[in-house]
Amino acid sequence: MFTCTLCEKHFASHGHLRQHMNIHSSKYRCTECGKSCHSNYELAEHRQRHSGEKPFECTVCSKRFRHPSSLVRHNRIHSGEKPYKCHVCDKAFRQNVHLQSHMTVHTRDKPFECPVCKKKFGQSSNLLEHKRRVHSNIRPYHCPYCGVRFKTKIDLKLHLPVHTDAKLYSCRHCSSSFKTNGKRKRHLLESHNEGSWFTCHVCEKKFIYQSYYKAHLLRHEDVKPYVCVECPKRELKVHQVVHSDYKQFICGLCNRLFKRKCNVRTHFKKCRTLFGI
């Protein structure tokens, strides 16, 4: 690892570190807001934000972008294209940064540690996401329809289709479109035989995701490897909230706190009726 002596940020190569050092110089600094950039190209792209111009428009959902590369990445949401493939497990990704983050699963390299709970991560971005989701109650993103607040922009984006008929995920083989990527993946498997099911060898139940499949297999074997230190209960991650007073889920309407996401969802439906939403 190559470490910046000024901000202690880590990099995989000396070239990336050298490029990063431009941030700490005034060579590529925006005259309007003072932000430092890695390169002249990045500075020019940043200046477009001050102008507010977004000349590149998606032909599917009409969303606009400042740069053509951003539009190319966005179009993969509609097409389902995933050009970046892992050479170990063949899992594919829409962006290279997601592939690099995934590779830490195979290398098991986790140099970034949470200062609160000591959990380790392979990428600094994953650590920042963890700290925001788990150890912070700041929810800057709110739904314009029901007012419920979210910690991340991604969470808000996943929530919005509940209120609209927008179907952003299109099938590459037919005219079908879907609200979620999971529904599109199921459609590709059922209608076009694209992809692979994870099939249980005991009851032949099929799963889209390998994580659900593995969790299902444990039920047949009655295996619960994670034991609570407080009591004999298993299913550790779900169970441990019983012994904790920490409530990380909040109702966006009345601000009531809950330990589990399923509880706040049930409460929110009742709360929405009371508020007449």
With tokens 């074997």, the residue in question is: 221
| pLDDT, mean of residues 148-167 | 76
pLDDT at 238 over 60: no
Between 135 and 275, the more confident residue is 135
Give the whole-angstrom CA distance, residue 38 versus residue 36: 7
> For the chain, what is the total number of helices (H) and then of strands (E)?
10, 16
For residue 242, name the pLDDT band (cuts at 50, 70, 90). low
Give the whole-angstrom CA distance, residue 7 versus residue 3: 8
Give the whole-angstrom CA distance, residue 131 versus residue 117: 9
Q: Is the Cβ–Cβ distance between 158 and 138 less than 8 Å?
A: no
Paired tokens of 121: 């991560």
Answer yes or no: pTM beyond 0.85.
no
pLDDT, tens digit (0-9, with 9 covering 90-100), for 60-90: 888 888 778 888 888 888 888 889 898 888 7
pLDDT, tens digit (0-9, with 9 covering 90-100), for 105-114: 777 777 788 8
CATH (one of 3.40.50, 3.30.70, 3.30.160, 3.30.450) for 1-53: 3.30.160
The mean pLDDT of the chain is: 77
Report the pLDDT value the prediction gives residue 6, as an integer from 0 to 100: 74
pLDDT at 35 over 70: yes
CB environment 253-277: b (16+ within 10 A), e (fewer): beeeebbeeebbeebbeebbeeeee
Q: How far is CA 118 from CA 110, 111, 124, 127, 234, in A?
A: 11, 11, 14, 10, 22
Which helix (H) or strand (E) segment holds residue 74: the answer is helix 68-79
For residue 270, name the pLDDT band (cuts at 50, 70, 90). confident
pLDDT at 230 over 60: no
**Domain segments of the chain: what residues?**
1-53, 195-223, 232-277
pLDDT at 207 over 80: yes
Report the pLDDT value the prediction gives residue 26, as an integer from 0 to 100: 62
Between 94 and 2, the more confident residue is 94
CA torsion through residues 70, 71, 72, 77, sign: positive
Report the pLDDT value the prediction gives residue 276, as an integer from 0 to 100: 60
For residue 147, name the pLDDT band (cuts at 50, 70, 90). confident
Q: How far is CA 43 from CA 6, 36, 113, 253, in A?
A: 21, 8, 31, 40
Report the pLDDT value the prediction gives residue 116, as an integer from 0 to 100: 82
Which residues lie below 8 Å from residue 98, measured CB to CB, with a gap of 6+?
84
Report the pLDDT value the prediction gives residue 237, as an integer from 0 to 100: 54
Report the pLDDT value the prediction gives residue 222, as an integer from 0 to 100: 60
User: CA-based angle 107:119:17, to the nearest 5?
Assistant: 55
pLDDT, tens digit (0-9, with 9 covering 90-100), for 245-267: 666 677 766 767 777 777 877 88
| pLDDT, mean of residues 93-109 | 80
